[in-house]
Chain A
């Protein structure tokens, strides 16, 4: 038994400066088109809200909506403005980086978070192209681990080619580790 232990025992000394540091990584931002896609997405939602509101207050003439129409319209416009502003500024806070052994994704305008997934813990990857994404030539890369949905990554705002390339890269790395 002790032979097996010795064989597997590894305890190489690691000098501090040998360990790669996160603080020194250069991150890349997302494709600019993603911002347009995001804004158009929320505009569509906003448009639907406006149509519903108009229907309720002027076509069906429900009392509450008819009387308070002005406030409701202002409310929705202000909300849309805030959401757009937030989307705009938050967009520039999203960034990702690939290293030899892991992938890092940052996000958050006010509440910041950065998630790091080592490749040897990746279960599988998925490249998704939604309808709006398609118009703008965008794709979303999802990286799954066994740590549950909270620990999974989804990097949006990539070109389909990049997304596929990153996915292949990660899968390649993950399976190399498996063989060892």
Chain B
């Protein structure tokens, strides 16, 4: 026993040493700070999207982002579906009609634009990557799943804790940090090539997107503060919904399923105990036979 404990202690000590050695290697390699962990209405087992926030975020997307960034995996009808921003079908249809989408070829074979309908998806802001590069010198990514396509490393033991606390909002926390992380003056010694901008949280620190948000840029009709911070949070929440429109159903059904499984497991546990009590009470009643080869009949 004592010998085992000594081995275990040695191994643990070695593990800690290895971990700290490795950690020093890690911190040297990446100096991008971790985005601050924010509170979201949709985090945790009972999280729900805040419809007002989603609508404000959609407004920010339309007035600031959509010139460059597509949302092509979303359809206009999604705006009216449960678990989302909560527009009525009529409102969603009106929003759709504000967009021009490519129609079917007419009798001369020409493809003309027509107003969008509920079934249509958001049209892309540029026809292909080459057109984007020609216009912006970079390809602005589509925003449909960007909240799930971004994240950051949480070291040990934080990621273990995250499994229990259900922290899944790495992407949105990063996006808020990015949008609010621009700095006018880069730190001394950092080279910012022309056409790029310095950002504290972007890996590599220089990106082609100019700071998109500024105070009072977008009007809010519900009295929410018109600050960069608020815009960043609202548009990120909207992007979280865009990436995971079924989040509310998922968490609701998850709660029901897990409760069911726990109750079911409890019942089976007691049934198991009852069944096995037979073995202890009446060992002579078992149907055992000495193990033999597979019976060939």
Task: Tell whether A and B belong to one assembly.
Answer: no
